[in-house]
Structure 1
């Protein structure tokens, strides 16, 4: 860090209770108990209206969390952007490289450790699990580079990956949605589901609550429920982002 060389400015757009776009330039480090040799930025939390918490973690070569991430009744998820980490429960550990991910069900804390000699960058997530009688989620591990994309809404230049099973044991999913320019959503969506999205590559123009806002790699977007949303991919590179979605549950009154 140093003294600014121009007027202070930001691309951040914050609409509490509705949506937020948070660019990487404005992120600050947060001290989170249990994490050692890690730089962590809280991307979203219930303070803005979200029902979950999302984090961006840079784990240095000696970085780790031996105390366990997650609380009682909370499910957790980690996606490895770059580097190599060991992730899992006390009983079961897995090696994750770029594109690797791991989901821990409620009641199981997630343990993390840098498994390489370089920094590892992670997207970390947690939310309260909504129980359903007779249903129980399980640990899921995978790597998107070993998965086959499917067409999104039958459009040849838009694809999606489902990272968790489409099963009622799970009350959430994680997806990677990708648009080859000039791909777009088929319509402006307005729905009860809430999203948190980290942009992995490319650029786009996002419609959020009928505001058209430019976004790019490294930006984070929180979408509140019932906020109109859609994107056009622009530029030379595929627009791709990993995002959360609540699902498989009725409305709670």
Structure 2
């Protein structure tokens, strides 16, 4: 595999000697799916994808988080799909954590490498191919796009983390901030996929409680995260899944940076 700053070591099976203790938990407010859960036996194969397996981390559940599904997808050399998305209502956000490949959208091929991001509007014609020599792994967020009368649909976006600005939170001296792949002021988008970064010692110093659902996949480092009434220690490769209004906070004690990929739904009225 190619060198990557993002955690991507999923798969395999634990030995029979491993203990059954785990921080995996599913509550009415949140779920924690640790990296130890993401073994070979929990993967899915997908229609019209070849040489591919996926870890489906979240899916819409009535009474829990209802807006999105998030996968880790692994595509072997020579694998891919010319019919990747079965639902024309679904928009896609893709973030690559390992390997190289190409995504073709509306007839134009875009090279992918670790740190590459793609946003694909609902109904877009696209295909995916691993034309390299090692597997490629990426996060794929799928969401049914919420159409707004009189609002143009959002355009596709292809970029890389290195080409996106890091926005520091006010009053943090740059120790806590966000890298945004989509324009936060563009109301045409109804979802965001960002990278949130903390330097050692930085924190979210209050209990965030809000309407947005979240998927948080830890890309680097470790921290303690407050989820509802519980403090949970998380590290690179762990996934947190939060329903609306789940109180949340974070303390990144170090020794290194703590970073996670963050999904949230935005810019729309709640359905009544």
Question: Which interval holds the TM-score relative to the shorter structure?
Answer: over 0.9
Correspondence for 1:38:
52
d(CA) in 2 for partners of 1:127, 1:70? 12
Count residues in correspondence. 252
Q: Is the alpha carbon distance of 1:213 and 1:96 closer, same or farther for their aligned partners in structure 2, counting shifts above 3 Å? A: same
Q: Secondary structure at the match of 2:205?
A: coil
* 2:158 aligned residue (129, 132, 141): 141
Correspondence for 1:178:
197
Do 1:88 and 1:102's aligned partners in 2 also have CA atoms closer than 8 Å? Answer: no
Q: CA deviation at 1:91?
A: 2.1
d(CA) in 2 for partners of 1:153, 1:110? 39
Q: TM-score, normalised by structure 2?
A: 0.88
Correspondence for 2:222:
203
Q: CA deviation at 1:174?
A: 1.2
Q: Is the alpha carbon distance of 1:88 and 1:234 closer, same or farther for their aligned partners in structure 2, counting shifts above 3 Å? A: farther
Q: TM-score, normalised by structure 1?
A: 0.94
**Superposed counterparts of 1:239-250, under 5 Å:** 239-250=258-269
Q: Per-residue displacement from partner, 1:115-147 (whole Å, max 9, x unpaired)?
A: 321111100110111111222111011000222
Flag structure 2 segments of 5+ consecutive residues without an equivalent: 1-12
Comparing 30-39 with 198-207, which one deviates more in the overlay?
30-39
Correspondence for 1:84:
100
Correspondence for 2:249:
230
**Superposed counterparts of 1:121-200, under 5 Å:** 121-135=137-151, 136-156=153-173, 157-166=175-184, 167-200=186-219
d(CA) in 1 for partners of 2:49, 2:106? 16
Correspondence for 2:32:
21
Q: Is the alpha carbon distance of 1:196 and 1:110 closer, same or farther for their aligned partners in structure 2, counting shifts above 3 Å? A: farther
Do 1:160 and 1:178's aligned partners in 2 also have CA atoms closer than 8 Å? Answer: yes
RMSD over aligned Cα atoms: 1.6
Larger relative strand fraction: 1
Q: Per-residue displacement from partner, 1:83-137 (whole Å, max 9, x unpaired)?
A: 1121142423211111001010011144211132111110011011111122211
Q: Secondary structure at the match of 1:248?
A: coil
